[in-house]
């Protein structure tokens, strides 16, 4: 079956522009996560959705970052007034269940954002 998909795969933005990154999780997956991966580092947690509810946004680096999942399926991560330090790969992951049931996360291919 289809895995997690993300679009666009690559995005170049000029400093100060707004960007929107899309994640299509595996159909029926309840939990959705966004991570930010800087070059040469491990992914860092940004935010977590259970269905349409954003239960944890503690990893969002600033109020320029906003995420939503209005119908409990597709999610969008929006970055306003992009800065050079926002350059990274943004990974989306989903899993079938809510809390501590099952443990494997399925990652999408990521969106590589470059801010010039």
Chain positions contacting other proteins, by CB under 8 A: 31, 33, 35, 40-45, 48, 50, 55-56, 91, 93, 95, 98-100, 103-110
Minimal distance in Å, beta carbon 80 to other proteins?
24
C-beta of 2 vs 99, nearer to other proteins: 99
C-beta of 40 vs 70, nearer to other proteins: 40
CB atoms within 10 A of CB 85: 10
C-beta of 44 vs 68, nearer to other proteins: 44
User: With DSSP H G I counted as helix, E B as strand and the rest as coil, what are the percentages for the chain, rounded to 5?
Assistant: 5, 45, 50
State the DSSP string of 63-102: TTEEEE-TTSS-EEEEESS--GGG-EEEEEEEES-SSSS-
Minimal distance in Å, beta carbon 40 to other proteins?
8
Are 87 and 19 in contact, with CB atoms under 8 Å apart?
Answer: no
C-beta of 19 vs 35, nearer to other proteins: 35
At 48 the three-state DSSP class reads: strand
Minimal distance in Å, beta carbon 13 to other proteins?
21
Minimal distance in Å, beta carbon 94 to other proteins?
10
């Amino acid at each position: 079956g289809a895995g997690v998909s993300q679009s666009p795969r690559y995005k170049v933005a000029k400093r100060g522009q707004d960007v929107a990154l899309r994640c299509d999780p595996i159909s029926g997956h309840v939990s959705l996560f966004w991570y930010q991966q800087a070059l040469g580092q491990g992914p860092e947690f940004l935010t977590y959705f259970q269905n349409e509810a954003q239960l944890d946004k503690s990893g969002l680096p600033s109020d320029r970052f906003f995420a939503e999942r209005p119908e409990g399926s597709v999610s969008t991560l929006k970055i306003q007034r992009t800065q050079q330090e926002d350059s990274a790969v943004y990974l989306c992951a989903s899993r079938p269940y809510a809390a501590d049931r099952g443990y494997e996360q399925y990652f999408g291919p990521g969106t590589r954002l470059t801010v010039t």
